[in-house]
Structure 1
Amino acid sequence: MSSPALRRACAALAAVTSLTLAAAACGGTTKDSAKKDDSAASSNAEADPGAATKKGLDVAFLPKQVNNPYFTVADKGGEKAVKSLGSTYKETGPNSATDTSGQVSYVNTLTQQQVDAMAVSAQDPGALCTALKQAMKNGIKVVTYDSDTRPECRNAFVSQSSAEALGRSQVQLLGEQLGYKGDIAILSAAQTATNQNIWIGFMKDELKKPKYKDMRLVKVAYGNDDAQQSFQQTQGLLQEHPRLAGIVSPTTVGLKAAAQYLSGSKYRGKVALTGLGTPNDMRKYVKNGTVEGFELWDPAKLGALAAHTAVALSSGQITGKAGETFEAGDLGTFTVGKEGVIDLGKPTVFTGENIDDYHF
């Protein structure tokens, strides 16, 4: 869920790289080197859950793309949380969701600005690693959210939900809508999509439970996250399986395309459809009766949790080790999992009753 902007980002990267190399070549104690020394000294420090929450921190959010509706909502949630904790918030980032080099330059710029913490949604896990490691060496706490990098390149990752929760909950939602009876199909993205296949694995495992004994998975189709292909795959599923009772699509493109097909066909209201989608894409299909309910995480809560995590790290309340716990305001208490992963929790289910409360 990134040109003139790219040229500016590359120019910024070149300038920042020069500054970084120059600083490394000079001796003496600067604020940067002091931060680096402090980071090295505290790398094995233990968390102090009772430590006071630091005020006046500089916390930066770096989404995949600024002005993207999804990230606007997520980062507004982060901004609200940062300010409520008595710290300063700012957002920066590329205008394109595929501008990886630009995102690297923004990480380097934030490092030079000596922010206390940054929350980053990684466009490319590998490409950002070197820049993020440099930020951590300078004493900056690095949190990834929505999209992760490698574990050694950040202090913690705030995940939308666990893969298991996302896989199982979609089947649970469809089962409720069908009364746990009927043939079903899955409309996925690419056949090689790692996250999709992990979710589908948990879907199949969920279907093994006794309460699903009257539900049968007849096919997994692939629309390659292309709207037209997904539309055609939906049509093909219904032609091949005329008794199909429900479809689950764990991809926002696939879910919207399937809803478009069903909405204009004789199957509207007869074939249940659920999966992962955004309220803005699915609103009209919920309101016209094509879709009863679907799910996704709440990006505002995701941003807020990223903010609380960044401040907790900066305050020494957590270090990112598995088993540590911390308070995240109204969101509740969270525990750091394996490899520094912090799960937001179960996804939000959107229905006709609450969909107008969300705009992304």
Structure 2
Amino acid sequence: MKIQKRSTAIAALLLTATFSLAACGSDDNGDGGSADGGSGGGGDLSITMLPKNLGNAYFDTSTDGAEKAADEIGAEFEEVGPDTASPDAQVSYINTVAQQGKSALLLSANDPDALCDAIDEARSADVKVITFDADTNPDCRDLFINQATAEGIATKQLELVADQIGGKGEIAILSASANATNQNAWIETMEQELADNPDYADIELVDTVYGDDDDQKSFDQTEALLQNHPNLKGIISPTTVGIAAAARYLSDSQYKGKVALTGLGTPNQMREYVEDGTVTAFALWNPGDLGYLATYAAQALVDGDISGEEGDSFEAGDLGSFEVGADGVVLLGEPYTFDADNIGDFDF
């Protein structure tokens, strides 16, 4: 398997010197220096993974899972991506994948529609496009590997915050970017649940803010929420960057133990905050499994084992068999709750 990582700094260069870079194996490690990406078996199947942004612990884990699957199937694999999570920053990478004639693109989309023109170009060049984590318009891609249903994720987070604040009080949401498809779907469902479910009649959503999956901005937005809403009882952050930044702020503030924080995070980034009492419980799926599943789905599409139609099924290595649902969606599973009793059992 051949692994390469490139950052935003060389995006423009890739557009004009794609084959030259591929030949010499130049890589950018995201901080202005170069780093060897590693090498391995390679083969006829070539896969590029494009997360929302590099340097994100969540996507680092999903890439690890994809790399593992690529090793198992003997595929050539590379990860590329921008330093900041924006749709414009992803377009050049999609264009490069089309120019290189890659077999498949694994994409976590920063916008449901803004990337569709570039994706169409890639698909017209016979690149199979599999979205994971965050989807595009279904017409833009071949498959979407969904971590869990929007309803399941939204319901889990509301259950957690309601339990932690005793079923009443003001809450706020610290999201990623305002255009993030998955975040907006979860927030919309949470808003509907709060309006319709009598169990949440005494809970009021007073604000939704955006940290753009940037650590410092998410930290600052947490501070602003607490200053603007002195009666705030809980924060939901359905983004791994946001929940970690919010936990860091709360852990060293007067609000520790008084304002509940839950959402979606990885065990490794949240362990210290669970152990010191800043966070009681949070949820997530295994992002490594998400990348792993996306890679096997790419293989099935490229090999012609599936076409992406509802009812298609394929094998995904250690994860077993999966079936394509409506609108080309493949579901990994339901979110899992992490707390002080079990967080030590996980390492990702």
Query: What range describes the TM-score normalised by the shorter chain of this pair?
Result: 0.7 to 0.9
What is the CA–CA distance in structure 2 between the aligned matches of 1:68 and 1:177, rounded to whole Å? 27
Aligned residue in 2 for 1:350? 338
Task: Give a deviation string over 1:176-206, Cα, whole Å, max 9, x none.
Answer: 546x644352334489666545423433544
Cross-structure match for 1:224: 210
* Alignment of 1:157 onto 2:148: no
* Residues 117 and 240 (structure 1), Cα distance of their counterparts in 2 relative to 1, 3 Å cut: closer
* Residue 59, structure 1, aligned to residue 51, structure 2: no
Partner secondary structure for residue 12 of structure 2: helix
Which residue of 1 is the match for residue 25 of structure 2? none
Do the aligned residues in 1 keep the contact of 2:147 with 2:290 (CA within 8 Å)?
Answer: yes
CA 1:267 to 1:67, structure 2 compared with 1: closer, same or farther past 3 Å?
Answer: closer
Alignment-derived partner of residue 290 in structure 1? 278
Aligned counterparts of 1:263 and 1:247: Cα–Cα separation in 2: 14
2:3 equivalent in structure 1: none
Q: Tell me the distance in 1 between the aligned counterparts of 2:157 and 2:118.
A: 37
Sequence identity percentage: 41
Shift of 1:170: 0.6
CA distance in 1, matches of 2:241, 2:89: 26
Counterpart of 2:58 in structure 1 is 70
Q: Does structure 2 conserve the Cα–Cα contact (< 8 Å) formed by 1:13 and 1:104?
A: no
Give the deviation of 1:66 after TM superposition.
4.5
Shift of 1:90: 1.2
What are the superposed Cα offsets for residues 284-340 of structure 1, whole Å, 9 maximum, x if unpaired?
A: 211101211112332101101101111111232221122323332332433323321
Aligned length: 311
Partner letter of residue 357 of structure 1? F
Please list, as runs of the form range in 1=range in 2, the aligned pairs for 1:1-360 lying within 5 A after superposition. 6=8, 8-14=10-16, 56-64=43-51, 65-66=53-54, 68-84=56-72, 86-98=73-85, 103-126=90-113, 128-177=115-164, 181-189=167-175, 195-206=182-193, 208-209=196-197, 212=199, 216-225=202-211, 226=217, 227-237=219-229, 239-240=230-231, 244=233, 246-252=234-240, 254-265=242-253, 267-352=255-340, 353-354=342-343, 357-359=346-348
Mark the CA change 1:121 to 1:185 in structure 2 (over 3 Å): closer, same or farther: closer
For 1:90 and 1:71, locate their aligned partners in 2 and report how far apart those are by CA, in whole Å: 15
Question: Which protein has greater RCO, CA pairs closer than 8 Å, 6+ apart?
Answer: 1
Counterparts in 2 of 1:199 and 1:9: CA distance versus 1, 3 Å: closer
Distance 1:120 1:284, change over 3 A: same
Q: Report SS of the residue matched to 2:337.
A: strand
Name the larger-Rg structure. Answer: 1
Counterpart contact for 1:79–1:89, Cα < 8 Å: no
TM-score if structure 1 supplies the norm length? 0.71
